[in-house]
Amino acid sequence: MNLASPFSLSIVAITVLAFLGLPIGLSMIAGSIFYLMLSGADMGIAAEQFLNGMYSNYVILAVPLFVLAAEFMNIGSMTERLLSFCNVLVGRFRGGLAQVNVVQSIIFAGMSGSAIADAAGTGGMMQKLMTNGGRYTPSFAAALTAVTAVIGPIIPPSIPMVIYALVSDASIGFLFLAGIVPGLLMAGLQMVQIAITARRKNFPVEEPVPLREIPGITWRALPALLMPVLLLGCIYSGITTPTEAAALAAAYALIISAFVYRSISFAAFYRALFVSAKTSVSIGMLIAGALVFNYVVTIENIPESLRVILTGWDMSPTTFLIFVNIVLLLLGCVLEGTAILLIIVPVFIPTAQALGIDLVHFGVVVVVNIMLGLVTPPYGLLLFIVAKISGAPVRDIIRDAAPFIFWMVFCLGVITFLPDTVLWLPRLMGYQG
C-alpha cells in the first residue's frame, strides 16, 4: 500500500482524530471527507452516502426501539419481578444467587438485545443482592454480572445481529434463531463454572422460597415473561418484521410497566426517553460514519483485494474462520464492538462467501467474538461498567472473570468448528443455507 495515497492518509486522519478524543463515528466521517478531497471527488458524496444509508435501511430503526424497550423495562418493576422468579428457579442451590444472575441474563436476553443494557439495568441490583452480608466478594459479583450480560446479544433479539444484517444482507429472523443454541450453551457452561466455584469457595445456600409463594411470584412475573414470547412469536409467525417487533416490544414494556405494574412516573418516563435518545444518537453516528467510510473502502476495492489475497493463501473455510476469530479477538481488546461490525466485518464477508461459509453461521461467530471483546482487557467496556457499579478494582474483576472467559472461548470454538450447533434451529424453521 502506498503510504502517501489518499486512502492511507485518510486512515491516518481517522486514527489521529480518534486518539485525540473525537468519537469514532465523527472521525470516520472526517477521514472519509478528507479522502474525497485528496482524490478530487465530490465531497457531497459523503452526505449522499450518509442520507441514503440512514434513510433507506429500515432495519436500522430496530436499534433505537430495542434500546427504548430496555429502558422502559428497567424503569418499571419488571426487573424486580423477574429476579424474584429467577430466584424461585435456582436460588435454593449452593451459589444460588450467582446462578440467578445467569438465569436473569437468559430471560433479559429476550427483551433488550444489548449487553450494556443488561449489565447497567440489572447489574446494580444483582451487585447489591450478592454482596449483602458479605455473601460474595464485590469483584466476583461484578465479574459474574459482566460475563452473564454477554449472553444478551447472542440470544435474540440482538442489536449486534441487527447491525450485522445491515452490512451482510443476511436474514435477521434466521440470525436470531441461530443465536439461541450458542447462547444457551454459553449460559450452561457459566452455570457449571459457578457450581464448581461454589463448592470450592463454599458459597452460601439461599433460603428456599416456600412452595405456597411460588404461584404468586410466577403470576406477578408472567406479564414480563410473556414479552420475549410475544416478540419472537410475532417475528417467526410472519406477523411483523423484526423492526416492527422491536416497536411492539417497546410498546409492550411501556404498557406493562405503566398500566399493569403501575410503576412508572412521568419523570422516569422522560428520563427513559432521554437516555434512549442519547444512546441511539451515539449508535446512529457510528453507523453513519461507517456507511461513509465503507463507501471509501468500496471505491478502493479493499474487500475484493483482501478476498484475492486470502484466496491466494489457499485457506480452507475452517482455517479462514480461525483467522477471523484471532483477528476479531485481538481487535475486541482495543476497539468498540459496533465499530468492528461496521468497519472490519464487511471486509471479510466477500471472502467468507467465496469460501462457501454460510453468512448466518459467520454472523453468529462474529457476534460471539465481539461479545468476548466486551469482557477482555484492556478495553473491555463491560468491565469498566461493572467496576463503576461495584467499586471493585478492574484487576480483581478480570481475575474472577478469567474462568468464565475460558468457557466462553471454548463455546466460540464449538460454534466455529461445528456449524450445525448454529444452523440446526434455523434449518428446522425452513432456512435453506
Summarize pLDDT for 240-266 with one digit per residue, the tens.
Answer: 777 787 788 888 888 888 888 887 888
Is 34 domain-assigned?
no
Is 76 domain-assigned?
yes
Is 11 domain-assigned?
no
Per the structure, the count of domains in the chain is: 1
C-alpha torsion 39→42→46→47, nearest 10: 170
Is 32 domain-assigned?
no
Residue scoring higher pLDDT (360 or 100): 360
Taking alpha carbons only, the member of 109, 236, 229 closest to residue 172 is 236
Please list, in sequence order, all residues whose beta carbon lies within 8 angstroms of the beta carbon of residue 385, skipping any fewer than 6 positions away. Answer: 116, 119, 120, 123, 146
Cell of 53: 444509508
The confidence band for 115, taking pLDDT boundaries of 50, 70 and 90, is low
Which 3 state secondary structure label does DSSP give 205? Answer: strand
Q: What pLDDT is attached to residue 118?
A: 62
Examine the pLDDT at 407 and tell me if it is beyond 90: yes
Q: What pLDDT is attached to residue 419?
A: 92
Task: Give the single-character DSSP code of 415.
Answer: H
**CA–CA distance, 304 with 349 (Å, rounded to integer):** 10
Residue scoring higher pLDDT (398 or 87): 398
The rounded mean pLDDT for the chain is 79
CA-to-CA dists, residue 293 to 33, 183, 205, 305, angstroms: 9, 32, 53, 17
Q: What pLDDT is attached to residue 363?
A: 94
Is 18 domain-assigned?
no
Comparing 81-95, 150-164, 218-232, the range with the smallest average pLDDT is: 81-95
**pLDDT single digits (tens) 364-401:** 999 999 888 888 876 677 777 778 777 788 888 889 99
Domain with 298, as residue range(s), is: 42-428
- 69 and 253 Cβ atoms separated by less than 8 Å: yes
**pLDDT single digits (tens) 183-213:** 999 999 998 998 888 888 887 776 777 778 7
pTM: 0.76
Is 24 domain-assigned?
no
Q: What sections of 159-213 are H helices per DSSP? A: 159-168, 172-178, 180-201
**pLDDT single digits (tens) 145-184:** 888 888 878 888 777 888 898 888 888 888 988 999 999 9
**CA–CA distance, 104 with 222 (Å, rounded to integer):** 14
Residue scoring higher pLDDT (187 or 282): 187
Q: What pLDDT is attached to residue 161?
A: 87
φ, ψ (nearest 5 deg) of residue 205: -100, 125
* Cell 474462568, located at residue: 403
Q: What pLDDT is attached to residue 361?
A: 94
Q: What pLDDT is attached to residue 11?
A: 80
Which 3 state secondary structure label does DSSP give 398? Answer: helix
**CA–CA distance, 394 with 189 (Å, rounded to integer):** 23
Taking alpha carbons only, the member of 414, 419, 370, 362 closest to residue 175 is 362
Is 275 domain-assigned?
yes
**CA–CA distance, 384 with 401 (Å, rounded to integer):** 13
Taking alpha carbons only, the member of 93, 89, 86, 84 closest to residue 196 is 93
Is 160 domain-assigned?
yes
Q: What pLDDT is attached to residue 306?
A: 67
The confidence band for 54, taking pLDDT boundaries of 50, 70 and 90, is low
Q: What pLDDT is attached to residue 190?
A: 92
